[in-house]
Amino acid sequence: MDVDSSVEEISEPPPSKPVKCTDAKIFVIVGASGYLAKKTVYPALWDLFQQHRLPDHVLMIGYARSKLSVRDIKNRCRDFCTGIGTERGRNRYENFWRLHKYVAGGYNSDRDNGTALARAFEDFEANYKKCDRIFYLAVPSLTYGSLAEMISRHWKAPKGCTKVALEKPFGMNKQSMKDLEELLDRYFQEPEICRIDHNLTLDLVDSIMSLRFANRFYKAVWNKENIAAVLITFKEDLGTKGRGNIFDKTGIIRDIMHNHMLQILSFVGMIFGTLN
Ligand SMILES: NC(=O)c1ccc[n+]([C@@H]2O[C@H](COP(=O)([O-])OP(=O)(O)OC[C@H]3O[C@@H](n4cnc5c(N)ncnc54)[C@H](OP(=O)(O)O)[C@@H]3O)[C@@H](O)[C@H]2O)c1
C-alpha cells in the first residue's frame, strides 16, 4: 500500500537552548500504528521519560504507512501508560508527547524514497553536531528486508551511529533465520544490530534467580532429591487482544516456546555455576 508521505506534529520538540555542540538521539518506532508499539515500545519510552532517563536532546518519531497523527498515537497508548491518573501525571504525559513526531511512509524503497522521514531527521539534526538514529522495527518480519534496505539507502545517520532493533521471532525456521542474518549482514555491521525479546526482562522471571540462589532455604533443597517434577504453565488473561495478525503468521508456539518457556526452564533447572 502506498500513501502520500506527510509529517504531523503537535509542536516542535524544543532543545532547551539552540546548541551546536551537544549530542542528540532520534528514536524511530517503525510500525507505530501497531500493537507492539502501543503496548510496549511507547509505554517503555514513557517510563524512561518519567524516570528522567531519556537523553536531554531526543526526538521520537512514529513511522508507519497509516495516516495518523501524534494525537492518535497518544490516545492509543493511554491505556498502556501508567501514572497518568493525576493532574501532574497528565501534564507530564502531555510534555512527553511534545518530544514526538509522526511520519507516514512506506517500507519499500521501490515505492517510497523515504524523503518524509529524511526531512524530519534533517530538521531536528540541524541543531546538533552529532546525532544517533535508532530504528525499532515493530513490524512483521516480512518487512525487515525492504526496511533494512530503506534504512541503509536513505536513513543512515550522517553524523552519529545507526542502530536497528528487531523483535523475535528471527525467522520462521533455520533457513529463514539464516536468510535474515545474511540480509542484515548485507546492510549493517553487527554492532549496529540489536536483537530483542522484550519478555526476557519480566521481573517475575528474573526473580527466579534470586529466589533460588540468594535464598539459603531454597538453595539447599532445590535439587532432584527434593523435587519430583516441574510444571511450567503459561497463562494470559488478555485473549489475543490485537495480536491476531502476529499469532496467525507466527503461531503461539514459535512466539513463546523456544524463548520464554525455555528460558524459565533453564532458570529452574540450571546448576549454580562454579569456576573450574
Ligand atoms: N504483539 C506482540 O505481543 C509481540 C511480541 C513479541 C514480538 N512481536 C514482534 O513484533 C513485531 C510487531 O508486532 P505487532 O504485534 O505490533 O504487529 P502488528 O500490529 O500486526 O503490525 C505492526 C504494524 O506493521 C504494519 N503491518 C502489519 N502487517 C503488515 C504487512 N503484512 N505488511 C506490511 N506492514 C504490515 C502495520 O502498520 P501500517 O499498516 O500502518 O504500516 C501495523 O500497524 C512483529 O515482528 C512481532 O513478531 C510482537
Closest approach atom of ligand 1 to CA 141: 45
* Contact indicator for 243, 35 with CB cutoff of 8 Å: yes
Global pTM value = 0.84
pLDDT for the residue 1 = 41
- Ligand 1, atom 3: closest residue by C-alpha: 36
Residue 184 neighbours by CB under 8 Å, 6+ apart: 144, 148, 164, 166, 193
> What's the CA-to-centroid distance between 170 and ligand 1, angstroms?
14
Pocket test for ligand 1, best of 1, 63, 80, 139 (most atoms within 8 A of CB): 139
Write out the three cell numbers for 267. Answer: 532458570
**Main-chain phi, psi angles of 241, to 5 degrees:** 40, 65
Confidence label for 255 from pLDDT (cuts 50, 70 and 90): confident
Query: Which residue ranges make up each domain of the chain?
Result: 3-196, 200-269
> What's the CA-to-centroid distance between 140 and ligand 1, angstroms?
4
Pocket test for ligand 1, best of 246, 249, 252, 254 (most atoms within 8 A of CB): 246
How far, in Å, are 40, 167, 241, 257 from residue 253 at the CA level? Answer: 21, 16, 17, 5
**Would the pLDDT of 6 be above 60?**
no
For range 105-130, the mean pLDDT: 92
For range 186-209, the mean pLDDT: 86
Does domain 3-196 fall into CATH 3.40.50.720? yes
Instruction: Quick: pLDDT tens for 55-94.
Output: 999 999 999 999 999 999 999 999 999 999 999 999 999 9
pLDDT for the residue 22 = 60
For range 211-223, the mean pLDDT: 89
> What's the CA-to-centroid distance between 181 and ligand 1, angstroms?
20
What is the crossing angle of helices 87-97 and 42-50, to 10°?
120
Residue 104 neighbours by CB under 8 Å, 6+ apart: 3, 4, 5, 6, 8, 63, 64, 65, 66, 67, 68, 116
List pocket residues of ligand 1, CB cut-off 6 Å: 31, 33-37, 64-66, 107, 138-141, 143, 167-169, 243, 245-246, 250
Confidence label for 17 from pLDDT (cuts 50, 70 and 90): very low
Q: Residue 49's beta-bridge partner residues? A: none
> What's the CA-to-centroid distance between 138 and ligand 1, angstroms?
6
For range 100-123, the mean pLDDT: 92
For range 28-32, the mean pLDDT: 98
For range 43-47, the mean pLDDT: 97
- As a whole-number percent, the residues of the chain with pLDDT over 90 amount to 59
Residues that are catalytic: 260
Instruction: Quick: pLDDT tens for 148-165.
Output: 999 999 999 999 999 999
